[in-house]
């Protein structure tokens, strides 16, 4: 893990930790009703385009759980591991995978066209939904999920630029509400167990 990625992972964990803390503090309010407002701190509406060029919104996934991560296809280290873990998770869930959408959202719309995303995820699992969109659409989705990302380099001069980004996976429930998060180092078996507990 490079220092930069470690810092991002820590920053992401702190953000998620704060959201969980908020959710937990609300959860234990007598009656527990306000918990949803805390849980809603991560996640929200998005409108993006999938690897087949179809417009997809968060509402398309209602009724299923979502295992969501943000990254980019040129990512050298984190994203390949994360996407493989999503593919493995869906495989290990067996028939229950019908109830879970594995979603990879690009933070690099300049290079990640629908066609590029299709190549990228289909080599791992054709079941993964890969999403891209306009810079504004991606910014809105990242903001909803409290995901940080920033181009590291000069795309105008060098096509091999990196994009720093939060390296977390989010499990969202059938209503699109935050359930829990994992890191890119969480084994697929751990995610499978966590998902089975809430299915
Ligand atoms: Cu990455």
Q: Which residues surround ligand 1, an ion (CB under 5 A)?
A: 71, 75, 78-79
Distance 72 CA to ligand 1 centre (A): 6
d(CA 149, CA 144): 13
Distance 33 CA to ligand 1 centre (A): 36
**Exposed e or buried b per residue across 79-98, where buried means at least 16 C-beta atoms within 10 angstroms of its C-beta:** beebbebbbbbbebbeeebe
Q: 38 and 19 in contact (C-beta within 8 Å)?
A: yes
Q: Residue 26 pLDDT more than 50?
A: no
Contacts of 15 (CB under 8 A, 6+ apart): 146, 166
Domains of the chain: 42-198 (3.40.30.10)
Contacts of 87 (CB under 8 A, 6+ apart): 102, 124, 125, 127, 128
pTM metric for this prediction: 0.82
Distance 78 CA to ligand 1 centre (A): 4
Distance 165 CA to ligand 1 centre (A): 7
Higher pLDDT, 163 or 22: 163
d(CA 184, CA 196): 19
d(CA 196, CA 40): 22
pLDDT tens digits, residue range 74-133? 999 999 999 999 999 999 999 999 999 999 999 999 999 999 999 999 999 999 999 999
Distance 74 CA to ligand 1 centre (A): 8
């Amino acid at each position: 893990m490079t220092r930069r990625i470690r810092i991002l992972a820590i920053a992401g964990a702190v953000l998620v930790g704060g959201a969980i803390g908020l959710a937990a503090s609300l959860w234990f309010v007598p009656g527990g009703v306000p918990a949803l407002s805390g849980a809603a701190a991560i996640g929200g509406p998005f409108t993006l385009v999938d690897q087949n060029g179809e417009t997809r919104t968060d509402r398309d996934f209602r009724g299923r759980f979502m295992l969501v991560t943000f990254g980019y296809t040129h990512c050298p280290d984190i994203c390949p591991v994360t996407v493989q873990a999503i593919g493995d998770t869906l495989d290990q869930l067996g028939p229950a995978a019908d109830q879970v959408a594995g979603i990879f959202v690009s933070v690099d719309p300049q290079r990640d066209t629908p066609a590029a995303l299709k190549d990228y995820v289909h080599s791992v699992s054709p079941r993964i939904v890969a999403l891209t969109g306009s810079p504004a659409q991606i910014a809105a989705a990242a903001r909803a999920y409290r995901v940080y990302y920033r181009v590291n380099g000069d795309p105008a001069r060098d096509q091999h630029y990196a994009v720093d980004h939060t390296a977390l996976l989010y499990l969202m429930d059938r209503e699109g509400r935050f359930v829990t998060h994992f890191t890119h180092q969480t084994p697929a078996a751990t995610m499978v167990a966590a998902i089975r507990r809430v299915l």
